[in-house]
Structure 1
Amino acid sequence: MNSPTPPAPLDWESQRTFLAVIREGSLSAAARALQLAQPTVRRRLDALEKAVGSALFTRSPTGLHPTPIALELARHAETMAAAAEAFARAASAADDDRSGTVRISCSELMGVEVLPRLLAPLQAEHPGLVLELSPTNRVEDLLRQEADLAVRMAPLTQGAVVARKAAAIRLGLFAHRDYLARAGVPQDWADLPRFALVGPDRDTATLRAVSLGQAPLRRAMFTLRTDSHLAQLAAVRAGMGIGVCQLPLAAREPDLVPVLPALYSHTMETWVAMHEDLRRVRRVGRVFRHLVQALEGYAAV
C-alpha cells in the first residue's frame, strides 16, 4: 500500500509575500513594499494557494480581500515575521552596547513628539546603534518579539517582561492663545462646555480620564473628535479649541496657554519594558536605561 504523499513544504518567501499582500491589500502595493516585481508576487501567491489547496483572497474593485483561511494563516505568518525580524536584529552586531539594531514600540504621540528628541543624544554618542521606532497604538507583543523595548502608559503584566516605571508625565488643558483671544477664557469647570473642545471620539476610557471626577464631559460636547492623541494635539496647536496636552510638550509651544490649571491636573504613568531574556543583550540594556533616564528628565520639565 502506497503511503500518502507528504504536503509540499511552504517556503518563507511565499509566506512573507502572502503577509505583505494581507497588510497592503493589493499585489502592486505588496510588490512595492517587498521591492519585487508584481509578477513575482503573483507567482509566489499562486504557489502558496496551490500548496494550501485553497483560495486565499477574493478580488474586488477595491482590492484583494483575505478569505477566512487566509486570516487564520496570517496570525501564524505574523508570528514568523516577528521571529525573523528579531533574528535579524539579534544578528545585527556583536554583543556590545554601542552598535546593532534595537526596535522600540510606543504610541503614535510618543513616537512622533517625544522619543525622537530623547533618543537623538544616544544615537549621536553611539552612531553604530540602529534604532527602529514603531509608533503605533496597537500594543506590540514583547513575548512574540514584535519589538525589543516598549514605552507604555500602563504597567505590563506579562510574566516574562521586565518593566520599570520611568516617569509620571503631567497633563493639563491647553488652548492656542489666538483661540482664547477670540472665545474668551473659561472661569470654572461648568463654564467649559460653552467652548470648543477637542477630545476623543469612541475612546470612552480617555473620556473618563479627561473628566477626572469633575462634571462629566460627553462626546457631544467635542467640536473636534478623534481617538488619535497626535491629531488632538495638532488641533489644539491649530487653534481649534481646548484639549489635553502633556505639560512638557506644551512647554515647547509658547502659543499654548494653560486652561483651568487649578482645577484640572492629571498624571500619566510611563513605563519602559523588555523581554527578560533581552537583559543579557547589552545594546538593548543600554537603550532601556537611556529611555528610563531620559523620560524622567522629560517629565520633570
Structure 2
Amino acid sequence: MSDLEPSWDFYRTFLTVMQEGSLSAAARQLGLTQPTIGRHIDALETSIGFQLFIRTPQGLMPTEAAVDLKPHAAKLASNAAALLRAATGHGPSSSVGVRGTVRISASEVIGIEVLPPILAALGEAQPDLIIELSLSDDVEDLLHQKADIAVRMAPPTQDALLVQRIGGIPIGLHAHRCYLEANGVPQSLEGLREHRFIAFDRENEFTRSLRKLMPFLNAVRPVLKADSNLAQLALIRAGCGIGVCQVEIGRRDPDLVHILQKELALNLQTFLVMHENLKTTPRCRITFDALVAGMSAYAGK
C-alpha cells in the first residue's frame, strides 16, 4: 500500500463505477472522460495495493476487495454530500429567511402526489432554500446523513432521531370505473380473489407494514406486480385492476372508485424524521416544521 492517501475523487470515481458497471457509464455520470475514469481507478489500485476490477469481455467485474470497499466509499459520499449541504447554510445572511440545502427522502407517491404543493409554499416563504428530493420506497439512512429529513410510513427504529408522528393517512382499495364496469364490483374481501389485483413484487419496510394492516393481501392472487407505489397507482388509473391507494389521492380523480369502504378502513401511520443533531439548524428546522404542517393537513389532522 502506498503511503500517499488517495484523493477523494478516486473514491468517488470508484463508487460510481461500482454503481454504473462500466468506465463509460461512470464517465457520463460524473461528466469526465473515460480515460480520466480509468486513470482514477489505476491510481486508487496503486495507492491501496490491490486490484479492484477485472477486465473481461463482458465488462468490468469487481473483485472481492472492491465489494468490501463499496460501503465505505458510499459512507464517504454521504458524508461529503452532508458537508456540502451544511456549508450552504453559511455565508451572507438573507434578508428574507434561511439559506442552504436540505435533502428530503420520501416514497415516490408522497414525493410526487403530496409534497409538491407543500414545497411550493415553502419555496415562496424561503426563496434562498434549496430542496433536494430523493424519491425511493427504500428507507434512506438518516444516521449516515444520506438525507436530512425523511417521510416514513413505519415507526423509525434507529436512535438519535427526532421523530414527529403525523398520524394516519387513510388508505383503501381503488379501481377505475371502466374496470368495474367490465368486471363488476366486489361485494366482499373474499370476492377480491375473482378480480385482477395489483400488488408489490418485492418486500420492503413499507410492504411489511401494509401486510400487517391488510392480512387479506396474503390470500389474493395478484396478476400484476410492481416494485413501485407510483407504478401501481398508474396501473390502477389505467384500469388494469384493483389496488391499494391513499384515499385523498383517489378522491382527486373522479374516475377512481373507492370500493369496500366499510370492509376496509385503514390508516397508514406516517412519521417525519430528522437526525437530532440537525434540530437547531435553521434550514432543517424550518423545512421540518413546514413538512409537519403540510403533511398534517394532508392527513386531515
- The answer (yes or no) to whether the contact 2:2–2:46 under 8 Å persists in 1 is no
1:132 match: 132
Shift in alpha-carbon separation, 1:115–1:129, aligned structure 2, 3 A: same
Provide closer, same or farther for how the CA distance between residues 25 and 228 of structure 1 changes in structure 2, counting only shifts above 3 A: same
Q: CA deviation at 1:44?
A: 0.7
Q: Is residue 94 from structure 1 mapped to residue 96 from structure 2 by the alignment?
A: no
Q: CA deviation at 1:167?
A: 2.7
**Superposed displacement of residue 6, structure 1:** 6.0
| Cα displacement string for residues 126-180 of structure 1 (whole angstroms, at most 9, x for unaligned residues) | 2211100111223211111111111111121222111100131010000001111
What is the deviation of 1:237? 0.7
List gaps (5 residues or longer) in structure 2: none
Question: Does 1:298 find its partner at 2:298?
Answer: yes
C-alpha distance in 1 between matches for 2:234 and 2:120: 23
Name the counterpart of 2:147. 147
Taking only the aligned residue pairs, the percentage that are identical comes to 46
Query: 1:206, 1:243 → 2: CA distance?
Result: 16
Q: TM-score, normalised by structure 1?
A: 0.91
Compared CA separation, residues 62 and 298, structure 1 to 2 (3 A): farther
> In the TM superposition, what whole-angstrom CA distance separates every residue of 1:194-253 from its partner, at most 9, and x where no partner exists?
1111112243736734643x58524xx111012321211111011000100001111111
Alpha-carbon shift at residue 89 of structure 1 (Å): 0.5
User: Corresponding residue for 2:254?
Assistant: 254
Q: Measure how far apart 1:61 and its partner are.
A: 4.6
- Return the alpha-carbon distance in structure 2 between the equivalents of residues 160 and 180 of structure 1: 48
Number of residue pairs matched by the alignment: 294
Work out which of the residue numbers 190, 208, 211 in structure 2 matches 1:208: 211
Q: C-alpha offsets along residues 62-89 of structure 1, whole Å, 9 cap, x if unaligned?
A: 4323211111111111111111111101
1:84 paired residue among 72, 80, 85? 80
What per-residue deviation string (whole Å, max 9, x for no partner) do you get for residues 233-279 of structure 1?
A: 11101100010000111111111001111101111111111111101
TM-score (norm 2): 0.91
Say which SS state the counterpart of residue 280 (structure 1) adopts.
coil
**RMSD over aligned Cα atoms:** 2.0
Cα deviation 1:96-134 (Å, max 9, x = unaligned): 752210001112222222222321111122221110011
Corresponding position of 2:105: 105
Q: Which stretches in structure 1 are left out of the alignment for 5+ residues? A: none
Q: Which runs of 4+ in 1 moved over 6 A?
A: none
Q: Quick check: 2:23–2:34 contact (8 Å CA) kept in 1? A: yes
**Counterparts of 2:157 and 2:197 in 1: how far apart (Å)?**
34
Q: Is the 8 A contact 2:171 2:265 kept in 1?
A: yes
| Conserved? CA contact 1:162–1:275, under 8 Å | yes
SS of 1:274 mapped into structure 2 = strand
Partner secondary structure for residue 3 of structure 2: coil
Cα distance in 2 between the residues matched to 1:63 and 1:215: 42
Match of 1:65 among 38, 54, 61: 61
What letter is aligned with 1:42? G
Cα distance in structure 2, aligned partners of 1:236 and 1:68: 43
User: In structure 1, the residue corresponding to 2:263 is in which secondary structure?
Assistant: coil
Say whether the 8 Å CA contact 1:149–1:288 is kept in structure 2. yes
Classify 1:191/1:163 alpha carbon distance in 2 versus 1 (closer, same or farther; 3 Å).
same
Q: State the alpha-carbon separation in 2 of the partners of residues 295 and 125 from structure 1.
A: 17
Alignment of 1:180-219 (within 5 A): 180-203=180-203, 205=208, 208-209=211-212, 211-212=214-215, 214=216, 216-218=218-220
